[in-house]
Structure 1
C-alpha cells in the first residue's frame, strides 16, 4: 500500500507535468541551492505582498500560498517571476481576514529538479 506522503508526491509530479503548475512542496523536497522565501509585508484583511530570492539559471519561479489547514496543496500562486538573486515580490489577493496563510518560493532549477524555500507564515489583519 502506498502511504499518503508518497501518493501526494506522485500527484504533485503528475500535476506539474500535466499542467505546468506550481506545487505546494513539502519542506523535505528542498534542495541545497533553493530559493529563499522572504518576509510578507503590507498585510491587510484581503492581501499581502510576498517576497523571495531565486537561484539564477532556473527555468520557472513562483511564490505559492494557501490557508493553513485548508486541505488544498495551494490556493493560488503568482508567476512566473523573474529568476534573480534580487528580491522579487508578488501580491497575494483574495485573502480572508484574520486567517493564517503559509507560503513559499518554488523554482525549477537548471538540473530540472524543483527546489523550494522554507515555508513562511503570516496572518491577515483582523476583521472589522
Structure 2
C-alpha cells in the first residue's frame, strides 16, 4: 500500500541520516588521533556529548536499533557493528551518502523556497 511504501521510504532516509551522522563522529575521532581499531571498539558510552551523538541515539531509537551505553557506537544500516578492517570502506560510503543527503536537501529547500515561499531556518535537518 501507499502507507507501507511511505514507511519504507522514511525508514531508508532515517538509516541514511544515521550513517551520515555517524560518519561525522567517526571523522572527529580519527582526527583526534584514534585508530580505526579504536573507533571500531567504541561504545555509545564512549561518544562525546555532542549534537551528532545525541541525534544518532535518537535515530537508533526510532529505527529500533540497539542504543544502550554498551552498544557499538558505529553500526551498519542493518544494525551490525562496523569492524576495524571495514572502517575505511564504510567511512567512504558514509561520506558519499552524507553528501547525497546534503545535495538532495539543498534541492528540496530551494524548491520549497521558490514554489511555496518557505524558508528553512536550520538547513542541517528538519525534524517532523
The structure whose Rg is larger is 2
Q: Shorter-chain TM-score: what band? A: under 0.3
Give the structure with the larger helix fraction.
2
**TM-score normalised per structure 2:** 0.26
